[in-house]
Chains A and B, each alone.
Chain A
Amino acid sequence: MRFPTLPSPHLAPSNSVSRIMLQVLVALVPGVMALVWQFGPGVLVQIPIALISALTAEAMVLLLRKRPVLPVLLDGSAALTAVLLAVSLPPLVPWWMTAFGVSFAIIIGKQLYGGLGFNPFNPAMLGYAVLLISFPLQMTAWLPPLALAHATVSFSDCVALIFQQVTHASFDGLAQATPLDTLKTQLGLQTHLDEIQSAQVFGGLSGKGWQWVNWWLLAGGLWMIRRGLIDWRIPLSLLGSLYLLAMFFFLYKPALYPTPLFHWFSGATMLGAFFIATDPVSASTTPRGRLVYGALIGVLVYVIRSWGGYPDGVAFAVLLLNVAAPTIDCYTRPRVYGHKA
């Protein structure tokens, strides 16, 4: 009898890229549900817009590059980028902004570099940063959380608001600054922290609504660690450095600097720690490098939030460390068995 001779190992691989991407999407479900619960169903309109834009943009580039389209679309990475960007956006931004941000992320942020695996930056955060710089007003106008909303916004309301050109006036009536935003503005006006935090948007550990979204994203993140989808090092070091730095300044001047837990449960902290900074393609890959990478993102998030020009700093912090990741990898190589350090 004759047999084919293929090289070892003969055992079939146990995982696949699309399986990983799909599981990360599953891990996002609790966070998305918390967003819907607290900020209305707007995000459920944004996700399909983002998905369609991402897949269309990717398919177009692949056709231009004369590459097979379907296998790449099915790897799930474009879908994940789309959903990550969609959940980062204020729920009622106009559809074309979402479409533009996602297309930018996929075309400029990913495909122009060579597609999956070759992009130096996290595509979703690149899209977010472009939108934030281009449309600062819309990007900081969030809906009031459940506890403060005077009227609930229905799904059809959301569709109408997102697709019809909403006037600034009507949009302003609905929108409200986020806790981080309020904090930044008011501290700039020399308001005392206690006074600021007595405002309506604050409550619980951070802001009303916001803490729940962060709790559920944290839950999804811990599930990913348990499943081995992400390494624990980046989230731990990111949250750890953010906590320590916030604790230091909080103890130094409690009147000016909010508590570490406020930082943990505000804005995009948990999304950034578990879903953004852990993007394998753009992150550091060595064990020690991941600790350094995460810790530096935590530091930058705190610095940008406290002294920078933007209320939140996750996107910029991640993008800056993306640039540093290859260098970090180079200096944090593990000691090989049988070799001295």
Chain B
Amino acid sequence: MFKLWPFNGGVHLPTHRQESSTAPLSIAPLPQKLIYPLARRNGRNAKSLVVPGERVLKGQVIIPADGTMNPPVHAASSGWVSGIEQRLLPHPSGFSGSCVVIDGDGMDEAVAFQGVSNYAAMESDDLRGKIHAAGIVGLGGAGFPTAIKINPPRQFNVEILVLNGAECEPYISCDDSLLRHYAHEVLGGALIFMHILRVARCLLAVEEDMPEAIAALELAKAEAGYGHIEIVAIPAIYPTGGEKQLIKVLTGREVPADGIPAQVGVVCHNVATAAAVHKAITAGEPLISRIVTVTGQGVRKPQNLLTRIGTPISELVEQCGGYTDSAQRLIMGGPMMGFALASDDVPISKSTNCILVAGQAEVVGEKTPMPCIRCGACATVCPVNLLPQQLYWYSRASNLERVMDYRLPDCIECGCCDVVCPSHIPLVQYFRAAKSKMAEKEKERLKADHARMRYEARVARKAQEQLEKAESARRKKELLATALSTSKS
């Protein structure tokens, strides 16, 4: 038996996985429209490489890379660029931004992909470069560039690769589906990661209530002999699939606050990222598609779809038989951490794992909070071991010093405290508000520092000028004095 470690808290939630996982994985038809936001991770807009009216091919780079933090974006199918328009972004902010819009031509004509036959003979840096050029980011949800994650600082001795196949949020089954259908690709991707990172050990974590996925992995393992990859069934407790929680469960190690997993010898990737890397290295195909779960009482035929990135949600919902009458809320992601979208005219992004069209009975409306009775249920379930109740008092009072003291920045906004609170207090909202207040204050502090520095520099400069003036006046006087004395004599 593999030794597992507990993390504090977590909640058992009904998985609702069957709704989408019992239907076979289907391949979404070629999208009529493809939308690619130009917004970068840092909020600035990239420059499009294509112009309206231009024809693009599948796999062609349409948004260039900008450093390692921003890998390139490729067209997921062939078509004509119809324009660069302001559109609603797939982002919790609900903001609009410039997007490249492509009208699909249904040909799916691709640029030539060039795979590598023997990656084991290649240097890690070259492989990282290929992964970056393939536009690969973490497919688990955060979308962090993969090439950076597999390039940990040299001072850390990485010994374990963790592949995250734990679908911790209810309703989502895209990783389950991936593991059942693409176990070889996932394990192959794991080998590439291991080669790049030069680690000998890989733990692939799957939730224990995903027996088909585990069976598929074991079968693939037996067929191809990936002996050094251990498949570990972990308890299905939300949020075991969180990176820090998963590392704790598998290794008993805790990633330091403000630190990265490499500091405790671990690098963690989502299983779908591994499959994407496998595809990018062996077939040369960039990241242009992923599996997306479309589920909830609000769609007629919940299922997993192999989807081109950039496809509007509306086309996917159509593919799933359209909305039911009970469709109430459109959520990108799961019901715990996903964000509600105002419209379905939003594209699937690289990190979109699920589209949950929730019915009336599946989501909570506007809550009417009661006073906190200090029951501590929130602290019992907090996976980070915070005291949400105290944080709530201090957040309400805008006592940012105490909020900091009680370690609000460590809150991962998983929502556990929120759903167990008997007083129905929207705790996560309070925490988000307090966090943004803290960010605001930090910004003000920087601004004040800047202003103070400028002021001090000005005062110093003035003083210097004064000094120089006095000096030159003195010198003039001296000169004059000598001139006078010489003229006298």
Residues of chain A having any CB pair with chain B under 8 Å: 1-17, 19-20, 71, 75, 77, 115-118, 231, 280-281, 283, 285-287, 329, 333-339
A117-B396 Cα distance, complex, nearest whole Å: 15
Q: Give, as a whole number of angstroms, the nearest-CB distance from A23 to chain B.
A: 11
* Given A3-B329, A337-B7, CB of A8 within 8 Å of CB of B343: no
The distance in angstroms between the C-alpha atoms of A115 and B384, with both chains bound, is 31
14 A-B pairs with CB atoms under 8 Å apart are A2-B343, A3-B342, A6-B329, A10-B356, A12-B419, A16-B423, A17-B370, A19-B422, A231-B380, A283-B374, A333-B387, A337-B254, A337-B257, A338-B259
Report whether A11 and B415 are in contact in the complex, using a CB–CB cutoff of 8 Å: yes
In the complex, whether B330 has a CB less than 8 A from a CB of chain A is yes
Contact present for B370 and A336 (CB under 8 Å): no
Is A5 touching B337 in the complex (CB atoms < 8 A)?
no
Contact in complex: B340, A5 (CB < 8 Å): yes
The complex places the Cα of A8 from the Cα of B343 at a distance, in Å, of 17
The interface stretch among B34-42, B144-152, B425-433, B467-475 is: B425-433
Give every chain B residue within 8 A of A12 (Cβ-Cβ). Answer: 363-364, 419
A2 / chain B contacts, CB cutoff of 8 Å: 342-343
Chain B residue numbers with a CB within 8 Å of A337 are 7-8, 244, 248, 254, 257, 383-385, 410
Q: A4-B340, A285-B387, A336-B257 are in contact. Are A13 and B370 (CB under 8 A)?
A: no
At the interface, yes or no: B372 with Cβ under 8 Å from chain A?
A: yes
In the complex, B119 has a CB within 8 A of chain A: no
B367 partner residues in chain A, CB cutoff 8 A? 13
B373 lies within 8 A of A17 (CB) = yes
A7 and B363 form a contact (CB under 8 A)? no
Residue on A nearest B405 in the bound complex, by CB: A333
Q: Could you tell me if A336 and B342 are in contact, using CB atoms closer than 8 angstroms? A: no
- Tell whether, in the assembled complex, residue B257 and residue A15 are in contact, meaning their CB atoms are under 8 Å apart: no
Q: B370 → chain A, closest Cβ, in Å?
A: 5
Q: Which of A7, A13, A75, A329 contacts B432 (CB 8 A)?
A: A7
In the bound assembly, the distance between CA atoms of A33 and B319 in angstroms comes to 61
- Please name the residue on chain B nearest to A6 by beta carbon: B340
Which of A8, A71, A285, A286 makes the CB contact (< 8 A) with B337?
A: A8
Complex CA gap A14/B418 in Å reads 10
Question: Complex Cα distance A71/B386, Å?
Answer: 30
* Residue contact A10 to B338, C-beta cutoff 8 Å: yes
Which residues of chain B are near A19, meaning CB under 8 Å?
422
Report if A285-B379 is in contact (Cβ < 8 Å); known contacts: A13-B421, A337-B410.
Answer: yes
* A336 and B407 contact, Cβ closer than 8 Å, known pairs A11-B364, A75-B370, A116-B373: yes
Bound-state CA distance A138–B274 (Å) is 76
Known: A14-B419, A337-B385, A338-B256. A8 touches B244 (CB 8 A): no
Residue contact A3 to B376, C-beta cutoff 8 Å: no
Interfacial chain A residues near B418, Cβ < 8 Å:
9, 13
Cα A27 to Cα B69 in complex, Å, equals: 57
The answer to whether A13 touches B244 (Cβ under 8 A) is no
Contact between A338 and B342, CB atoms less than 8 A apart: no
B73 within 8 A of A: no
Q: Is there contact, CB below 8 Å, between B340 and A115?
A: no
**Closest chain B CB from A327 CB (angstroms):** 13
Option from B254, B258, B374, B415 in Cβ contact (under 8 Å) with A285? B374
A10 and B331: CB pair below 8 A? yes
User: Could you tell me the distance in whole angstroms from the C-beta of A90 to the nearest C-beta in chain B?
Assistant: 30
B238, chain A: closest CB distance, angstroms: 10
The CA-CA distance from A285 to B390 in the complex, in Å, is: 10
Please tell me if the beta carbons of A5 and B94 are within 8 angstroms of each other in the complex.
yes
Q: Which residues of A contact B8 (CB under 8 A)?
A: 334, 337
Residues of B within 8 A of A77 (CB): 373
B340 contact set on A, CB distance < 8 A: 3-8, 10
A287 to B419, CA, bound (A): 20
| B111 at the A interface (CB under 8 A) | no
B384 contacts which of A16, A118, A281, A336 (Cβ < 8 Å)? A336
Nearest CB to that of A75 among chain B residues?
A: B370
Does A339 lie within 8 Å of B371, measured CB to CB?
A: no
Given contacts A286-B379, A338-B255, contact A9 B419 (CB under 8 A): yes
Query: Assuming the A-B contacts A15-B377, A337-B248, are A1 and B344 also in contact, with contact meaning beta carbons closer than 8 angstroms in the complex?
Result: yes
Kindly identify which residue among B258, B371, B383 contacts A115, using a CB–CB cutoff of 8 Å.
B371
List, in ascending order, chain A residues with CB within 8 A of B259's CB.
Answer: 338
Question: Does residue B123 face the partner (Cβ distance < 8 Å to A)?
Answer: no
B424 at the interface (CB under 8 A from A): yes
**How many angstroms from the CA of A133 to the CA of B385 in the assembled complex?**
42
Given contacts A10-B329, A334-B385, A338-B244, contact A20 B375 (CB under 8 A): yes
Q: B257, B367, B387: which has the most chain A beta carbons within 10 Å? A: B387
Instruction: Determine how close the nearest CB of chain A comes to the CB of B338; give it in whole angstroms.
Output: 6
Nearest Cβ in chain A — how far from B26, in angstroms? 22
Within the complex, what minimum Cβ distance (angstroms) separates B469 from chain A?
A: 56
- Cβ B420 vs Cβ A13 within 8 A: yes
Give Cα A117–Cα B373 distance, bound, in whole angstroms.
Answer: 4
Check A334 against B387 for contact (C-beta < 8 Å).
yes
- The CA of A285 and the CA of B13, in the complex, are separated in Å by 24
6 additional contacts (CB under 8 A) given A7-B339, A336-B386 = A6-B329, A8-B338, A10-B358, A11-B170, A13-B418, A285-B375
